[in-house]
Amino acid sequence: MQKPPLVIQHLSKNYGSLKAVSEVSLEIKKGEIYGLLGPNGAGKTSIISCIVGLEKPSSGQIHLFGQEITHNHDRQSKLKIGFVPQEIINHGFFTVDEILGFYSGYFGILNNREKIDSLLKDLQLYEHKDKKVKQLSGGMKRRLLIAKALVHDPSLVILDEPTAGVDVELRNSLWELVKKLKDKGVAILLTTHYLEEAEKLCDRVTVLDRGQVKATGETQGLIQKLTQRWVKIQYKGCVENIEHSYLVSKQKGLLELRIPSSFPIGQLFSELQIKKEDILDLVISEGSLEDVFKFVLHDKGENQNV
Amino acid sequence: MSSLTWIPFWVLFKREVHRFLKVIFQTVVTPLITASLYLLIFGLSLNIEVENVSYLAFLIPGLMMMGCLNNSFQNVSSSIVSSKFSGELEDYKVSVLSHQQIIWAMSFGGVIRGLVVAGVTFLVGQFFYYHSFGSFLSIHSPLLLFFFLVVGGLSFAKMGLSVAILAKNFDHMSAFGIFVITPLIYLGGVFYSLDKLPVFWQSISKANPLLYFINGVRYGVLGVSDVDISSAVVVSLLSLLFFHLAGLFCFKKGSFVRW
pLDDT at B173: 87
pLDDT at B26: 86
Confidence of residue B204 (pLDDT cuts 50, 70, 90): confident
Which H or E element spans position A210? none
CB contact under 8 Å between B7 and A109, yes or no, is yes
Does pLDDT of B17 surpass 60? yes
pLDDT at B76: 95
Distances (CA, A) of B235 to A109, B134, B238: 38, 36, 5
Does pLDDT of B256 surpass 80? no
CB contact under 8 Å between A108 and B258, yes or no, is no
pLDDT higher at B96 or B43: B96
Does pLDDT of A300 surpass 70? no
pLDDT at A265: 87
pLDDT higher at B47 or A70: A70
Does pLDDT of A227 surpass 90? no
| DSSP three-state, residue A53 | coil
Which H or E element spans position B199? helix B199-205
Using alpha carbons, select from A39, A37, A38, A48 the residue that is nearest to residue A13. Answer: A48
pLDDT higher at A253 or A64: A64
Does pLDDT of A306 surpass 70? no
Written as one letter, the residue type at A172 is N
From the number of C-beta atoms within 10 Å of its C-beta (0-12, 13-18, 19+), residue B230 rates as exposed
Question: What is d(CA A79, CA B193) in angstroms, rounded to the nearest whole number?
Answer: 54
The predicted complex's ipTM stands at 0.86
From the number of C-beta atoms within 10 Å of its C-beta (0-12, 13-18, 19+), residue B123 rates as exposed
| DSSP three-state, residue A123 | coil
Does pLDDT of A299 surpass 80? no
Confidence of residue A304 (pLDDT cuts 50, 70, 90): low
Confidence of residue A1 (pLDDT cuts 50, 70, 90): low
Of B10, B12, B86, the CB nearest to A92: B86
| DSSP three-state, residue A216 | strand
Does pLDDT of B254 surpass 90? no
Question: What is d(CA B164, CA B142) in angstroms, rounded to the nearest whole number?
Answer: 32
Residue B23 with chain A: CB contacts under 8 Å: 93
Question: In A, residues 94-153, which contact B (CB 8 Å cutoff)?
Answer: 94, 98, 101-110, 148
| pTM for the predicted model, two decimal places | 0.86
Instruction: Say how many C-beta atoms besides its own lie within 10 A of residue B242's C-beta.
Output: 14
Of A53, A79, A89, the CB nearest to B87: A89
The residue count of chain B comes to 259
Distances (CA, A) of A230 to A187, A224, A261: 34, 13, 9
Rounded to a whole number of angstroms, the distance between the first and last alpha carbons of chain A is 25
Give pLDDT tens digits for A121-139.
988 899 999 999 989 988 8
pLDDT at B15: 95
Least confident of A78-87, B10-19, B48-57: B48-57
Contact in structure between B155 and B209 (CB atoms under 8 Å): yes
Question: In B, residues 93-122, which contact A (CB 8 Å cutoff)?
Answer: 93-98
* Averaged pLDDT score across all residues of chain B: 90
Shortest Cα distance, chain A CAs vs residue B9, angstroms: 8
Edge-to-edge strand ranges of the sheet holding A228-235: A247-251, A254-260, A228-235, A279-285
Does pLDDT of A115 surpass 90? yes
pLDDT at A305: 63
Helices (H), B40-169: 44-45, 55-86, 88-94, 99-133, 142-166
Of A75, A85, A101, the CB nearest to B4: A75
Question: What is d(CA B103, CA B88) in angstroms, rounded to the nearest whole number?
Answer: 15
- Give me Rg for the CA atoms of chain B: 19
Contact in structure between B158 and B166 (CB atoms under 8 Å): no
Give pLDDT tens digits for A169-192.
888 888 889 999 999 999 999 998
With a pLDDT cut of 70, the percent of chain A lying above it is: 97
Helices (H), chain A: 44-52, 75-80, 96-106, 113-122, 138-150, 168-183, 195-201, 219-226, 265-272, 289-294
Written as one letter, the residue type at B254 is G
Least confident of A95-104, A173-182, B97-106, B215-224: A173-182
As a whole number, mean pLDDT of residues A153-170 equals: 88
